[in-house]
Amino acid sequence: MEIHRYEKLWTVAALLLIVGLIATVTYGAVGPGVTMVDDSGGTVDAQSLGDTEFSDPGVTQVDNNEYEVHVVARQFLFQPGTAEPIRVPANSEVTFYITAADVVHGFELAGTNVNTMAIPGQVAEVTVRFDEPAQYGIVCHEYCGAGHHTMAGQLVVVP
């Protein structure tokens, strides 16, 4: 039996599409890129954050130009960030550890590539460099209840 030339071509094209699709999905799953659900910082007991490293959330200096910031997201504020801005110095490397106390929230530093979910029981870890003094808005981008649209904060990179 003879296969028509165009049929052959289309079969090859279809196979290439399938391989391409699998490659894309695989890359999305294991490759670098945006992490949607992030528990790279480990887990934590959301019911008793007071007994964890999140008992007194805030900025900690860990080296010359290195800082850690523990952030708790809860309905409907960031702690710290909402009542008072998170303050870190310019020319610093800052690692955020973010978790949620009640429901799923988002933590986006508008204008940077810091963008993660904040999930009860999980700790999202994100490291970013701040070279220049600046101000960034912190936005919750996961619907978390009636006050979701008011849930925001601020980060100030001080000179």
Nearer to ligand CUA, 93 or 142 (CB): 142
* Minimum CB–partner distance for residue 153 and ligand CUA (Å): 10
Q: Which is nearer to ligand CUA, 70 or 105 (CB)?
A: 105
Q: How far is CA 134 from CA 13, 156, 157, in A?
A: 50, 6, 5
**Distance, CA of 10 to CA of 8 (rounded, Å):** 6
Q: Which of residues 61-100 bind ligand CUA (CB under 6 A)?
A: 73, 76
Cβ contacts of 104 within 8 Å, gap of 6 or more: 117, 118, 119, 120, 142, 144
* Position 140 contacts ligand CUA (CB under 6 A): yes
Selected from 144, 153, 154, 157, the binder of ligand CUA by CB under 6 A is 144
**Other C-beta atoms within 10 Å of 52: how many?**
16
In contact, 109 and 115? CB cutoff 8 Å: yes
53 lines the binding site for ligand CUA (CB under 6 A): no
Residue whose CB is less far from ligand CUA, 87 or 148: 148
Candidate segments 7-15, 52-60, 124-132, 144-152, binder of ligand CUA by CB under 6 A = 144-152
CA distances from 17 to 3, 13, 30, 139 (A): 20, 6, 20, 38
Which residues form the interface with ligand CUA (CB under 6 A)?
Answer: 73, 76, 105, 140, 142-144, 148, 151
